[in-house]
Amino acid sequence: MILITGATGQLGCHVAAQLKKDGKGFLSPTLQELDITNKQNVNNYFKAHKPSCVIHCAAYTNVDKAEDEKEKCFDINEGGSKNLALACKEINGEMIYISTDYVFSGQGTRPYETNDPTGPLSTYGKSKLAGEEAVKKYLNNYYILRTSWVFGQNGNNFVKTILRLASERDSLNIVSDQIGSPTYTVDLAKLLSQMALSKKYGIYHATNEGFCSWADFAQEIINISKINCKINSISTEEYPTKAIRPKNSRLSKESLEENGFSRLPQWQAALRTCLMSFLC
């Protein structure tokens, strides 16, 4: 039985749908049923249900707000992950920890390999790296999967924001010097279903194929949706935010191929599929 944390979230809901499609049994507890920040609650849940694998999608993800809520951010991303890892260890279960490009400093232009030195710039990035370290400390049977620029039909994300703003304005100023890869939740969920219980443990990077800037991403959203809105490219310095974003979020996907997993489709194709679902 596979346990999904954050099963009602942007990624978790698609993981649940994919596991159901693949005929795999899963548990998708509500926050009231499983509070990952409550160690005793986690232990009790695991004793009762004994999941063989945890796909850990639950996280504190508000990057800017995290700078003002550091304790809460770490409590969820580090503390919650530690509680789950310890509970998995007790029943010899395995865990897939969803991590992020924010664990890197964003220097240079080459794609980050899974074993490259980390160096998060933000509270969010530091908390997710702390979660990684907790998983590695307490478990042998783990997968750490770093992804970036996640979008989909559920939750708040860049695609939905651009669609909303473009319908209200004639032009938008979008950062063009942060480079990475969008990741479609439906495609990522398929990979997670394949990875769970595969016993191919280790650290992975998974995003849709291809690189772009946020401005490129926004322009493609506009083009596919046929909205009359001009995208103006600006620098990171022209759009200050509370949390520092990595300028280089390129992630190498070599580890996927090395372990027999397929790469995700091109990001433009994934975006088109997502946007078409909005129109249906």
Q: How far is CA 149 from CA 47, 108, 119, 193, 195, in A?
A: 35, 19, 18, 20, 21
* 94 close to 88: Cβ distance less than 8 angstroms: yes
How far is residue 76's CA from residue 8's CA, in Å, rounded to a whole number?
Answer: 16
Buried b (16+ CB within 10 A) or exposed e, 211-238: bbbbbbbbbbbbebbeeebebebbebee
How far is residue 186's CA from residue 251's CA, in Å, rounded to a whole number?
Answer: 19
Indicate which residues carry an active-site annotation: 124
How far is residue 172's CA from residue 92's CA, in Å, rounded to a whole number?
Answer: 50
Q: How far is CA 115 from CA 106, 112, 127, 143, 200, in A?
A: 15, 8, 19, 14, 16
How far is residue 185's CA from residue 52's CA, in Å, rounded to a whole number?
Answer: 23
Total count of residues recorded for the chain: 280
